A and B are shown apart, each in its own frame.
Chain A
Amino acid sequence: MEISKEVMKLLAAGLAIGLGAIGPGIGIGLVGLGGAQATGRNPEASGTILTNMILAIAFAEAVAIYALVVALILIFVA
């Protein structure tokens, strides 16, 4: 397969979401670790912890969403 514009686009989209998911993946893992530890230490506060955990996950996940948007733009628009 020759390296055409189409091939580069697909490669770029794959790299964009693949590399872009590394950071949020680690981040969400750390949030989950913190949430599980906090719940283990103070089970009564699990409701509040869950709320804050999901909020923090959303902020970490937003970065992955930007990568997804870039990948989608590369495939469908660029």
Chain B
Amino acid sequence: MKRVAKVLAVLVLIGLCAFSCVIGPLGQKQVVQPHIQMAAETFQVGPIKVPNTLMGLLLADLVLIGLFLAGTRHIRAGRPEAMVPRGLQNLVEAIYEFLANFLRGILGERAEKMLPLLITFFLFILVANWIELFPGFDTVGLIEQVHEGEGHAVRAVGPLIFLTHEEGEYTLVPFLRAANTDLNVPLALALISVFMTQVYGVQALGWGYFSRFINIKALTSGGFMGLMNFLVGLLETLSEFTKIISFGFRLFGNIFAGMVLLLVISSLVPFVAPVVFYILELFVGAVQALVFMMLTAAFTAVATAGHGEHH
């Protein structure tokens, strides 16, 4: 039985390869060069323009919300079987507990209040990154006329239309694209992260938190060191703004570069080779989600620590 399944799997693989040899590059010697654009492509839906990254974002939200609603349904209904988690609930609880314990290690007893935000950051970025690896992202869409730059000619195969490598005036506008390949999404997350760091800082230290940035006490206490401390405060202020840039562009850069890498490799070597890079992107997506969460946690830990209790 196992042997039959194996043979079947190999046959299906060969069949898919043969199929895409005929349909994919349309039997042409060259493969279509990917069209790479930094801004999200948009669709006109009624009076508004809908970017395809928004579709990717909503899909990621749907997956995440669906997973956790289904996983917590026994708890929310107050059923007794929720006490002994099974199946999906087990998975969801394991994910939550792992992340929560991890963050408690960094933040100590202050962690509880920040857990929802930090874990949401992690899960949202993780799902938004990984969803890009599903077939259909960046590859299925409408063929539209190009406004600027170079395009391709098209050829119809049955009801489907494919781009050819010849010069023309058409390009592919994919329906779905990963949310984090649109700079707006990482920047929004970065703004939330930095803003909430300030909020947690004020909650922990009161308004005295802002003496970190404008240290009047140090200035009036006089002396050279007082002046230096005041200037260090100004540097801290600057570093809050550079944090927004580095948070936003780190996530955007990694995921956008991943998308470009996958597109280029898929156009150079359509078979087998992209698998390696898909594994790499799986890793990069998880690392970026982890880094975003951990950096927010670490900056919050710094912001909520008073002047005396640096460790």
Which residues of A are in contact with B by a Cβ distance under 8 Å? 47-48, 51, 54-55, 57-58, 61-62, 65-66, 68-69, 72, 76
- B114 nearest CB across to chain A (Å): 15
CB distance A62 to B242 under 8 Å? yes
Q: Are B253 and A55 in contact (CB under 8 A)?
A: no
B249 touches A76 (CB 8 A): no
Q: B250 near A55 (CB under 8 angstroms)?
A: no
Q: Is the CB of B249 within 8 A of A69?
A: yes
Q: Which residues of A contact B295 (CB under 8 A)?
A: 54-55, 58
Complex CA gap A68/B250 in Å reads 9
Which residues on the A side are within 8 Å of B246 (C-beta)? 58, 61-62, 65-66
Closest to B297 in A: A51
| Complex CA–CA separation, A55 to B250 (angstroms) | 13
Residue of B nearest to A72 (CB): B38
Known contacts A47-B105, A76-B38; A68 and B294 CB within 8 A of each other: no
Instruction: Judge if B280 is at the interface, Cβ distance under 8 Å.
Output: no
A69 pairs with B245, CB closer than 8 A: yes
Q: How far is the CA of A55 from the CA of B292 in the complex (A)?
A: 10
Q: Does B290 contact A (CB under 8 A)?
A: yes
Question: Which residue of chain A has its CB nearest to the CB of B298?
Answer: A55
Contact status B38-A55, CB under 8 Å: no
- B105 adjacent to A65 (CB under 8 Å): no
Contacts of B290 in A (CB 8 A): 54
Q: Which residues of A contact B249 (CB under 8 A)?
A: 65, 68-69
The answer to whether A55 and B294 touch (CB under 8 A), given A72-B38, A76-B38, is: yes
* Beta-carbon contact of A51 and B294 below 8 Å: yes
Q: Which residues of chain B are near A47, meaning CB under 8 Å? A: 102, 105
Known: A54-B294, A54-B295, A55-B295. 13 other contacts (CB 8 A): A51-B105, A51-B298, A54-B290, A54-B291, A58-B246, A58-B250, A61-B246, A61-B250, A62-B246, A65-B246, A65-B249, A66-B246, A76-B38
- Whether, in the assembled complex, B14 has its beta carbon less than 8 Å from a beta carbon of chain A, the answer is no
CA–CA, A65 to B295, complex, Å? 15
Instruction: Report how far A62 CA is from B38 CA in the complex, Å.
Output: 20
The answer to whether B106 has its CB under 8 Å from any CB of chain A is: yes
Q: Considering the chains assembled together, what is the distance between the CA atoms of A57 and B106 in angstroms?
A: 17
Task: Determine which residue in B253, B294, B298 has the highest number of CB atoms from chain A within 10 A of its CB, and name it.
Answer: B253
| Chain A residues whose CB sits within 8 angstroms of the CB of B102 once the complex forms | 47
- Residues from 87 to 113 in B contacting A, C-beta threshold 8 Å: 102, 105-106
**B298 and A65 form a contact (CB under 8 A):** no
